[in-house]
Structure 1
Amino acid sequence: MEDQYFTDSAPATDDELRQVHVTARGRDLDMWVSDRVFSGSRLDLGTRQLLTEAPEPPSSGTFLDLGCGWGPLAVTLSLEAPAATVWAVDVNTRALDLTRRNALANGAAGVVALPAGEALERARTEGVRFDLIWSNPPVRIGKQALHQMLGDWLLLLADEGVAYLVVQRNLGADTLVNWLRDEGWSAARIASKKGYRIIEVRSVPTSKSAQF
């Protein structure tokens, strides 16, 4: 359902909820899902590849799950790094409600689920910088909107921060890497599996010439 990125949805009623079992980085999770969120019946293949290929997160810090859906990335990050604060952001109210439910159900106490616009304004106002970003970004919103979203949040990476994005190869993963480099980021594919690229993005120090 591709319009979930544009259309907000109210929290799911009890009869709309379903529970799925997910194995993520060696952890067994029982997660609430629903229609009107991305991949509302199972863990999608792209997110699965990111969970498989992304390096171990730092033990603490401030992390971001950009476009959290029902929260598999945010919950996993919080469980791997219990001392971290994990911002889970999405435009969809139903997705945020599911993420909160799933964080509570699986003991992921560090997850803070926030509407995307509110979270971006808060981060800018409070000077928040993210040590780690994980995202399965909504490429189907269109190139311009995707670039705006990624640009806004990547500017909030800490100096030594790193982002890991998963993008389907035939939906423009390699083109996205080139755009990121053109915008001044250090971007590279670190894995390619089952039609998906895992892209690592880092800030390039302004005092040095970017080497790609």
Structure 2
Amino acid sequence: MVEQYFSAEPASEDVRRSLNVSVQGHDVQVETSNGVFSGSRVDLGTSVLLREVPDAPETGALLDLGCGWGPITLALSLASPHADVWSVDVNTRALELTAENAKRNGCTNVHVTACNEDGKPLATQPAGVCESMPDDLVFDAIWSNPPIRIGKDALHTLLMAWLPRLKPAGGVAYLVVQKNLGADSLVPWLASALGDDYEVSKYHSAKGYRVIEVVRNA
């Protein structure tokens, strides 16, 4: 059976590979491994997201939800060195890679946090690179290529664990989802689940992907 990238503790051998990639015009050197999402390249969905989103806020708290080995984290950190960039994932190997890739590229404003399968930060973080996240932390921006293949119910639970943590009166999230994996149906579901304090819309379409925008108004 092929190991899923959303396993908390990958059983596959941790074989590191070095890559030179570009994230929003920044050339970075990173390491990837087995058992993490898109371990051989920046995947197409992430590339679409990073190309189409507006500029990240220069300050505040920014979140990469489902960080994998960290391409979105690196983009946020390099674009906004005076912000605090938080990277969350269930996969502890992914979090270790993200932390190491941030350090390798001089991104000193990155914090990584391990979550449970419901998307909530673990009360006790694994020793090493992970940090506890304040319970009352809200985010000026959330960027995410969410793990669609965990299933609809689990995805909904994950998104509803984090999107309500957008900063009131202006916090904004951008999610990239394949059209054929339910992007168009996710828009009205999010609008209904989040309620009147949020605006949910399709922000952009490219290469079979939708970029969904979620704005918190109050």
| TM score, norm. by length of structure 2 | 0.87
Contact kept, 8 Å, 1:87 with 1:111, in 2: the verdict is yes
1:130 is matched with which residue: 139, 158, 163? 139
User: Does structure 1 residue 202 correspond to structure 2 residue 215?
Assistant: yes
User: Does structure 1 residue 141 correspond to structure 2 residue 150?
Assistant: yes
Structure number with the higher helix fraction is 1
Question: Which residue does 2:45 correspond to in 1?
Answer: 46
SS in 1 for 2:99: helix
In structure 2, relative to structure 1, the CA distance for the partners of 1:11 and 1:107 (3 Å cut) is farther
| TM score, norm. by length of structure 1 | 0.90
Question: Which residue does 1:170 correspond to in 2?
Answer: 180
Question: Which residue does 1:8 correspond to in 2?
Answer: 9
User: Does structure 1 residue 189 correspond to structure 2 residue 202?
Assistant: yes
Question: Which residue does 1:87 correspond to in 2?
Answer: 86
**What per-residue deviation string (whole Å, max 9, x for no partner) do you get for residues 17-75 of structure 1?**
10111111111011111110000111100000001001101111001000000000011
CA distance in 2, matches of 1:52, 1:197: 12
SS in 1 for 2:184: helix
Contact kept, 8 Å, 1:11 with 1:94, in 2: the verdict is no
SS in 2 for 1:182: helix
CA distance in 2, matches of 1:120, 1:154: 18
Structure number with the higher strand fraction is 1
SS in 1 for 2:161: helix
Gaps of 5+ in 1: 206-212
Question: Which residue does 2:160 correspond to in 1?
Answer: 151
**What per-residue deviation string (whole Å, max 9, x for no partner) do you get for residues 96-128 of structure 1?**
010011001111111111102463765563x11
Gaps of 5+ in 2: 124-131
Question: Which residue does 1:33 correspond to in 2?
Answer: 32
How many residues end up aligned between the 2 structures? 202
Contact kept, 8 Å, 1:120 with 1:153, in 2: the verdict is no
In structure 2, relative to structure 1, the CA distance for the partners of 1:120 and 1:201 (3 Å cut) is farther
In structure 2, relative to structure 1, the CA distance for the partners of 1:199 and 1:102 (3 Å cut) is same
When the two chains are superposed, the root-mean-square deviation of aligned CA atoms in Å is: 1.8
CA distance in 2, matches of 1:72, 1:101: 12
Report % sequence identity.
Answer: 50
